[in-house]
Copies of this chain bind each other. A is one copy, B any other.
Amino acid sequence: MKAIKDSVHDHIPICELAADLLETPELQRLRHIKQLSTVRLVYPSANHTRFEHSLGVYYLAREACSLLDVEGQRAKAVRAAALLHDVGHGPYGHQTEGIIERRLGKHHDEVDDLLGEGRLADVLESHGLDPEEVAGLVAGEGKLGQLVAGELDVDRMDYLVRDAHHTGVPYGTIDHSRLLAALQFRDDRLVLSEGNVQTAEGTLVARALMNATVYRHHVSRIAGAMLERAGERLLDSTDLDATQFARMTDDRLLAALRDCEATADAARRLEHRDLHKRAAWAKLDAVPEEVVTAERERVRRFERDIAEVADVSHDDVLVDTPGEPSMPETSTRVVVDGEVRRLADESPLVEGLRAAGRAQWRLGVYAPEEKIPEVGAAAERVLGVEVE
Closest CB-CB distance, A314 to chain B, in whole Å? 26
A340 to B103, CA, bound (A): 47
Number of interface residues of A (CB under 8 A): 75
Binary CB contact string for chain A from 1 to 17 against chain B (1 if under 8 A, 0 otherwise): 10111111011010000
Residue of B nearest to A213 (CB): B198
List B contacts of A356 (CB < 8 A).
201, 347-349
A263 to B347, CA, bound (A): 41
B205 and A209 within 8 A (CB): yes
A127 at the B interface (CB under 8 A): no
The segment from A167-175, A288-296, A303-311, A370-378 that touches chain B is A167-175
A102 at the B interface (CB under 8 A): no
Given contacts A45-B48, A52-B44, whether A166 and B7 have CB atoms under 8 Å apart is yes
A175 and B169 within 8 A (CB): yes
Among A44, A171, A205, A213, the one with the most B-chain Cβ atoms within 10 Å of its Cβ is A44
Residue of B nearest to A1 (CB): B181
List B contacts of A360 (CB < 8 A).
198
List B contacts of A255 (CB < 8 A).
251-252, 255
Dominant secondary structure of chain A at its interface with chain B? helix
B209 and A198 within 8 A (CB): yes
A239 at the B interface (CB under 8 A): no
Residue of B nearest to A26 (CB): B272
Indicate how many identical chains form the complex: 4
A345-363 CB contacts (< 8 Å) to partner B: 346-356, 358-360
Closest CB-CB distance, A3 to chain B, in whole Å? 6
Binary CB contact string for chain A from 231 to 271 against chain B (1 if under 8 A, 0 otherwise): 00000000000000000011110110000000000000001
Given contacts A175-B170, A202-B171, whether A47 and B44 have CB atoms under 8 Å apart is no
A189 at the B interface (CB under 8 A): no
A40 at the B interface (CB under 8 A): yes
A212 at the B interface (CB under 8 A): yes
Given contacts A170-B174, A173-B170, whether A7 and B209 have CB atoms under 8 Å apart is no
Contact partner of A202 (CB less than 8 A), chosen from B43, B209, B358, is B209
List B contacts of A351 (CB < 8 A).
348, 352
Closest CB-CB distance, A46 to chain B, in whole Å? 8
Contact partner of A168 (CB less than 8 A), chosen from B10, B168, B347, B350, is B10
Closest CB-CB distance, A305 to chain B, in whole Å? 28
List B contacts of A381 (CB < 8 A).
none
Residue of B nearest to A357 (CB): B348
A339 at the B interface (CB under 8 A): no
A92 at the B interface (CB under 8 A): no
| 17 pairs of residues in contact across A and B, judged by CB atoms under 8 Å | A1-B181, A3-B178, A5-B169, A11-B177, A11-B181, A13-B181, A23-B273, A23-B274, A34-B47, A47-B48, A47-B52, A170-B173, A171-B202, A249-B271, A255-B255, A349-B353, A349-B355
